[in-house]
Structure 1
Amino acid sequence: MATKQPLVLLVDDEHDLCVLMQMTLARMGIKTHIAHHLQQAKLFFSEHKYNACITDLNLPDGSGLDLVKHVTQNYPKVPIAVLTAYGNMEIAIASLKAGAFDFVNKPINQQHLHQLLTKALHVPLVDYSEDNLQLEHQLLIGESKPMLKLKDTIKKVARSQAPVFISGESGTGKDVVAHLIHKLSNRSDSPFVVINCGAISEELIERELFGYVSHSFAGATQDKLGLIQSANGGCLFLDEIAELSLTTQSKLLRALQEKKIRPLGSEQEIDVDFRIISATNQNLEERVQQGKFRQDLFFRIHVMDLHLPPLRERGKDILLLAEHFIKNICLEWDIPSKELAEESKRFLQNQSYAGNVRELRNMIERAITLCDGQIIGLEHLQYSQKRNFSAPLVEAPLNSESLSNTQESSNQIPSEGLEQFLEKVEKEVLLNALNQTHWNRTLAAKKLGMTFRSLRYRLKKFGLDSEDD
């Protein structure tokens, strides 16, 4: 049986442009209808079943935004993209917020048009398959009201090409949500590239993002593909995006707007097609006001916003997650399965979890290590908490007086040598700050008066860093 030919509605009052797009889509095996007015487009929608729609924003009898809203409300399974004038990003972002699938700049690049339609015609349906539902359950565990609402939003966000910004406290699982959005999208067969902007120095971040050609700087012996180009066709997840310098922010904004990049040392631009998902636990609005984050980039990445609830607000999810971690850790360590005693369950449900899901997993992992039998008792959890999380959040001064145990007398010369002594002091200061903030690295960095990137460097030096986000 022959495959049914896709049908796409083109809406624009420029006749020549419509003909050009029609010819391009015909070469892709796509049938098209053309409407030159808003009301005509609405009429066509009532008479035909379209697989996708592309509309200009400026129509003789109205705005393309009105058509976006009309299609989103009445034909939610039909992806609609908008044509925007070069540089008119505010309207483009408004259209994405209104429900547009994506946008393409004028003058139209045929390659961009081809990429847009290819993805539009492969948008996942809202009615997910059993495999997708199982994937969702595996990656995002929870049945509380906040999590059910979040899962519903993720399904809608996954159908779009719009940028996604994920906020939430440290340890809430922003990386897990980003990965789930990618896996449920029509880009799932393409790369999902992750970069922690706070873990890479300012000197290296541009090289990592945009790549470089050989001999572009000392030590560049060969060309290197940047992470943006590596994510071509897929998603780029920028964690801790607030750590980017203003210079890098400017280059990233250009890549998002023009869908082109220029590797360091190259004179040629490269077309790229990627969806950006970004996250941070910092307040970006405050950083914009402080002049540390570009306002135009702020609006560009804040199209689809997701806020992850802290674990303390997720009620029964605490035990679901605890049991999930117990099962997985026992399988991973190839040891007999264990279960929580009733008093252990009550204990877990009554914790505040400043470190959120990451803290819960660490607590479970340590409890399993301490438990020789099958039942994880209260003593195993309390011991784990006492070692790492139960210290009260007092504003203890982080100075030499708080580290008196390091050296019996400040008048003595350290027997291990000055460098080792200073490293020992530095490590104790770091641990003190981390324990006071329940291992929330962002808060610890603020307490120590240093940047998040500097803290990460020092934690790596002492083997205290974790890649879990």
Structure 2
Amino acid sequence: MYRVLVVDDDDQMRMALNATLKHLNHSPVVAKNAKEALKLIKKEDFDVIISDLKMPKMDGIEFLSEVKKIKKDIPFIMITAFGDVKTAVEAMKLGAFDFILKPFSQEALQKVLHLAVSHKTIKKSTTQKNDTPFAFIYKSKQMEKIVNLASKVAKTDATVLLIGESGTGKEVLAKYIHSQSPRCNSKFVAVNCAAIPSNLLESEMFGYEKGSFSGATKTHKGKFEQANKGTLLLDEITEMPLELQAKLLRVIQEKVIDRIGGVEPIKVDVRIICTTNRNIEDYVKEGKFREDLYYRISVFPITIPPLRERKEDIPLLAEHFLKQFSSSFGKNIEKIDDSAMEILINYPWPGNIRELQNVIERAVVLCDKDKLTKEDIYLHNMG
């Protein structure tokens, strides 16, 4: 249950939000304008603020600015109409956690509330002192070294290669590096090289000109242009076709891209982070990955160990996911008992953190007590 401050000058919207939040088992407090809300914030504590963007006298942007002066760590969610999305994005740059478009469902509201409060919890749980929305939950010395390495390389423009099994948190680490870099106020754009069909990957990465092929009814900017001045994550880069690897090498070396059907090369200023769950050196030996590209992307390699090699992180992560899903599903499950925790610690976690998250989610759904027990834990690969 979250204590939520709702700020909206529209009586009907304010009443509707109040009723919806109560239905979702939260504790709402309402204010009809920003000045009234600021008085409440100075006197009381809230888990999250939901505010309309357009309000008389003091609008949502001005209100956000004042809130950050008083209590900068309160997650702030903006409510906006479709036509004001650009302004809402500006609000996120000023410190808002997210925005939701009118009209929105109960599910959408619950999801963004949960993410906002989880973000705050993660920042408090981590041993990192950096004020970042992409901090890690960890206790192990291995992860402490990795986060320290990531913090150092973040200050540079060096290309980073993140290596690790699926579910270890490679994309989260990539976002952390971006958030700590001089490019943090520009876009973080991700391309999943394994999920996009090879015949579409080139147009997705480099874009295309109007009329360059059947169906190209307008010019499309690719991921490199979208990430200009920011960071581009090439997720699972070892799945990229060889012919595209050659074009990527040119982009990295010359810092220009060619749209499909384009005449003039386009300059791009992008910091590249790559990930792989493969043994990339074996791929190079087998001729599946270009050796020259490998040396270009592995300027600063970081290997994230699997969860089974850092067991001391399991209780902290499990407790975090318990709080997360217990809140999401409106349950009051306070702890994981010793027998259940022993099973979690001794399990090898082939799917790593992602699998642990799924197991805890299922356990919370099944649990009808105030703590998780071993009867609630279901593991696919237990013999």
Whether TM exceeds 0.5 here: the answer is yes
Q: Give deviations 1:197-236, integer Å, cap 9, x for gaps.
A: 0001011000000000011011111000100100000100
- 1:131–1:191: structure 2 CA closer, same or farther, 3 Å change rule? farther
- Out of 251, 254, 274, the residue aligned to residue 258 of structure 1 is 254
Q: Does 1:285 align with 2:277?
A: no
SS at match of 1:256: helix
Q: Give deviations 1:289-321, integer Å, cap 9, x for gaps.
A: 111111110000000110001111112210000
**Residue in 1 that maps onto 2:240:** 244
SS at match of 1:195: strand
**Residue in 2 that maps onto 1:203:** 199
Cα distance in 2 for partners of 1:161, 1:368 equals: 42
**Residue in 2 that maps onto 1:302:** 298
Cα distance in 1 for partners of 2:127, 2:214 equals: 49
- Out of 272, 278, 291, the residue aligned to residue 276 of structure 1 is 272
In terms of Rg, which structure is larger?
1
Q: Does 1:389 align with 2:375?
A: no
- Following superposition, the deviation at residue 345 of structure 1 comes to 1.5
- 1:349–1:205: structure 2 CA closer, same or farther, 3 Å change rule? same
- Following superposition, the deviation at residue 333 of structure 1 comes to 2.9
- Out of 341, 349, 362, the residue aligned to residue 366 of structure 1 is 362
Say if 2:255 and 2:269, in contact at 8 Å, map to a contact too: yes
- Following superposition, the deviation at residue 137 of structure 1 comes to 8.2
Cα distance in 1 for partners of 2:312, 2:295 equals: 35
RMSD, aligned CA: 1.8
Q: Give deviations 1:40-95, integer Å, cap 9, x for gaps.
A: xxxxxxxxxxxxxxxxxxxxxxxxxxxxxxxxxxxxxxxxxxxxxxxxxxxxxxxx
Identity over aligned pairs, percent:
44
Q: Give deviations 1:338-392, integer Å, cap 9, x for gaps.
A: 31011112221111111111111111111101101111011111xx11xx232x5
Runs ≥4 residues deviating over 4 A = 134-138
Which ranges of structure 2 fall in alignment gaps of 5 or more residues? 1-125
Cα distance in 2 for partners of 1:292, 1:300 equals: 16
SS at match of 2:129: helix
Cα distance in 1 for partners of 2:154, 2:161 equals: 13
Give the 5 Å matches for 1:72-83. Answer: none
Cα distance in 1 for partners of 2:129, 2:186 equals: 20
Cα distance in 1 for partners of 2:325, 2:301 equals: 32
- Out of 143, 154, 164, the residue aligned to residue 147 of structure 1 is 143
- 1:309–1:136: structure 2 CA closer, same or farther, 3 Å change rule? farther
Q: Does 1:231 align with 2:223?
A: no
Q: Aligned AA for 1:190?
A: S
Cα distance in 1 for partners of 2:129, 2:231 equals: 21
Aligned length: 258
Q: TM-score, normalised to structure 1's length?
A: 0.53
- Following superposition, the deviation at residue 285 of structure 1 comes to 1.0
- 1:311–1:205: structure 2 CA closer, same or farther, 3 Å change rule? same
Which ranges of structure 1 fall in alignment gaps of 5 or more residues? 1-129, 393-469
Say if 1:132 and 1:184, in contact at 8 Å, map to a contact too: no
SS at match of 1:217: coil
Q: Which has the higher contact order (CA 8 A, sep 6+)?
A: 2
SS at match of 1:190: coil
Cα distance in 2 for partners of 1:270, 1:137 equals: 32
Give the 5 Å matches for 1:78-157. Answer: 133=129, 135=131, 139-157=135-153
Q: Aligned AA for 2:203?
A: R
Q: TM-score, normalised to structure 2's length?
A: 0.65
